[in-house]
A = this chain, B = another copy of it.
Amino acid sequence: MNTIEFRSDNAAGVAPQILASIADANVGSAIAYGHDDVTAQLEQRIREVFEHDTARVFPVTSGTAANALALTALCPPWGSVLCHTTAHILNSEGGATSMLGGGAVMKGVPGDDFRMGADALRTALASITWGDPHHSQPSVLSFTQPTDMGTIYPVEAVTELSAIAKASGLKVHLDGARFANALVALGCSPAQLTWKAGVDAVSLGATKNGGLSAEAIVVFDDAAADELVYRTKRSGHVTSKMRFQSTQIQAYLADDLWLRLARNSNDRMVELAAGLQELSVEFVNRPDVNMLFARMPADAIDHLEHAGLLFYRMGPETIRLVTSWQTTPADIETALSHFHAALA
């Protein structure tokens, strides 16, 4: 049976350009632990891409590492990180930030469309007694962009929320596991979506969008970057042959590869969503990027599974569908025919 992969974009393979870059980097010897030329060039490249002269970059091998390390460099042990109640860092990282951050805590803040609301953020900030050690002190605002539920924050929302946070002295982090998908959907520049909107550190994901094991912490705050030199190493997140990490991200950013791959994911989702809307499928989220949560009868879900669609069941009548850089128009067409049959 031919299967079609909608479980997750991290079930996809590695983009050929990225795989080729690894082979290309495998020439001669290179000093270890990030002191190599490829990593130095990557930092230069990141500065160009983000239009920021002093940005610093720390390649790591998982999104949890990128998030937790970035957050602990921005948040004191007695601080709290404010994020949406559905955020990955709150629900899906096994307490990584609390562990690596000496007991820093996460606070979920509500908001429609799986995005933190400005009023909810103001309320959260107002409910704390500042300077009172009984209360973990809000220290970082973290966006998931796109959210875990496939919606995105417009640049204006990032800017507004960051400004509210910064007025209370917080730092701002952006969990960009699918950053390129957001960039493409918003049509803005990396700088516009990050430091120009108040963001101090970004978890820049590449793995879900064609990388092998490539995530990068991009930091605009020098004090946090200085800490990350130590924090990455002592958590085991400085690979010795770093050039093979750095080259993946170099290839990812070259020739707009990251945008092209993300555009494929997003465009396939547009096609899929359009097809499902014709079938009157109920959507849980607005599929701004490459993720759709949809409701349908359990027997229809069973039918789809038997037909070879791979996806996650989020509840008895809810499924998650994720497109990737590898999803083809033909995949969507075939999938839609299965949906048609299942829902007939």
Contact = CB atoms under 8 A, between A and B. Distances in A.
Given A14-B26, A26-B19, A208-B240, A234 B93 contact: yes
A173 interface: no
B32 A62 contact: no
A13 interface: yes
Given A96-B235, A134-B94, A239-B62, A11 B26 contact: no
A65 interface: yes
A238 B134 CA distance: 10
A100 to B, nearest CB: 7
Interface stretch (A2-10, A186-194, A271-279): A2-10
A236 B102 contact: no
A14 B241 contact: yes
A94 B10 contact: no
Given A11-B32, A103-B95, A78 B26 contact: no
Given A61-B239, A240-B63, A233 B134 contact: yes
A212 B102 contact: no
Contacts of A13: 26-30, 241
A237 B77 CA distance: 16
A151 interface: no
A149 to B, nearest CB: 15
- Report copies per complex: 4
Interface residues of A, number: 78
B96 A236 contact: yes
A234 B78 contact: yes
Given A32-B8, A94-B78, A241 B229 contact: no
**Listed residue (A33, A64, A99, A245) with the most chain B CB atoms within 10 angstroms of its CB:** A99
Interface string A67-98: 01100000011101000000000011111111
A23 interface: yes
Contact of A212 (B62, B69, B238, B244): B244
A143 to B, nearest CB: 19
A95 B68 contact: no
A29 B14 contact: no
Contacts of A239: 61-62, 207, 213
**Listed residue (A27, A134, A213, A231) with the most chain B CB atoms within 10 angstroms of its CB:** A134
Given A95-B105, A231-B78, A232-B133, A240 B10 contact: yes
Interface of A: 3, 5, 7-8, 10-14, 19, 22-23, 26-33, 60-66, 68-69, 76-78, 80, 91-106, 131, 133-137, 207-208, 212-213, 227, 229-241, 244-245, 310, 324, 326
Given A3-B29, A7-B31, 5 more contacts: A11-B30, A14-B241, A29-B324, A91-B135, A207-B240
